[in-house]
Amino acid sequence: MNKAELFQQIRKKESFLCVGLDTDIQKIPRNLLDTSDAIFAFNKEIIDATHDLAVAYKPNLAFYESMGVNGWNSLEKTVNYIRYKYPEIFIIADAKRGDIGNTSALYARAFFDTMDFDAVTVAPYMGEDSVKPFFTYVGKWVILLALTSNKGADDFQYVEEGGEKLFEKVIKKSQEWSNEDNMMYVVGATRAEMLSDIRKIAPNHFLLVPGVGAQGGSLAEVARYGMNSECGLLVNSSRQIIYASTGDDFAKKAREAALEVQKEMAELLKKYLK
């Protein structure tokens, strides 16, 4: 999916919502545990209930890997299901991978070829050759970690050399490797006001913003500081939506939670997009 197509979906659905499929076997309704693949069964119902309100889904790989081969199988089925049933949806592998060049090429194959994700999150620590192999797939995206939303972000991401913080250097340096047509950045919403600084060095890139909702970021602030003329935002919500209810009505309640976010997003798009 290219940038214009993504923006078209955002306008059509009046939404820039990404639903995080952080599916935890210990948190899904008990009655699903009788099915042969409870994780996939849960994801399928969540997807069917929210597909018209979200432009993206983002499974976090850790949730699937923690279940070994079975989890990896549930993940593949989930991606295939979205791709087949709702081909207009943007699918993000939240994998935070990154290795030497030859090895990153294999991660790219895993997520873009063996599985049909549209994007993968990548950690920048190992630099250019760890990121570039992902760009060889046409229509696929890298979402590079810049400023994350966790407490540990303070440890290294603010290291400053010559007036430039590490996360700023990541954003600037990576623009020598590719551009806004196949690269986005992860920017944590716990620091919404910093989005305006980031927009100075990445005015046209999409930003993937985690941490709205359960982690307490404000959607209105994110839109105020981060939205550009093509929206330029994907805002993720996981727990607030997929665990809106722990009972058998989980899909219905997930839809209600997603609808609430989508309505606010529709207002924000009206306000900031001419």
Residues that bind a second copy (CB under 8 A): 22, 60, 62-63, 65-69, 72-73, 76, 94, 96-101, 103-104, 106-107, 109-110, 113-115, 123-131, 145, 148-157, 159-161, 166, 169-170, 173
In the complex, what is the shortest distance from the CB of residue 69 to a second copy, in angstroms, rounded to a whole number? 5
Nearer of residues 170 and 258 to a second copy, judged by Cβ: 170
Smallest Cα–Cα separation from 37: which of 25, 27, 26? 25
Nearer of residues 95 and 231 to a second copy, judged by Cβ: 95
Two tokens, residue 127? 């630099």
The catalytic site residues sit at: 96
Strands 183-187, 164-165: pairing kind: unpaired
Smallest Cα–Cα separation from 93: which of 106, 81, 102, 78? 78
Two tokens, residue 202? 């990445």
Helix (H) or strand (E) holding 166: helix 166-174
Nearer of residues 150 and 204 to a second copy, judged by Cβ: 150
- Do residues 235 and 18 touch, judged by C-beta distance below 8 A? yes
Nearer of residues 10 and 92 to a second copy, judged by Cβ: 92
Nearer of residues 177 and 272 to a second copy, judged by Cβ: 177
> Using H for helix, E for strand and C for coil, what is the string for 62-93?
HHHHCCHHHHHHHHHHHHHHHHHHCCCCEEEE
- Burial tier of 39 (Cβ tally within 10 Å: 0-12, 13-18, 19+): buried
Q: Helices marked H in 28-67 — which ranges? A: 38-50, 61-65
Dist. CA 91–CA 76, nearest whole Å: 12
In the complex, what is the shortest distance from the CB of residue 105 to a second copy, in angstroms, rounded to a whole number? 8
Residue 212 per-residue DSSP state = B
In the complex, what is the shortest distance from the CB of residue 251 to a second copy, in angstroms, rounded to a whole number? 23
Cα dihedral: 216, 219, 223, 224 (round 10): -70
Dist. CA 259–CA 181, nearest whole Å: 29
Nearer of residues 87 and 162 to a second copy, judged by Cβ: 162
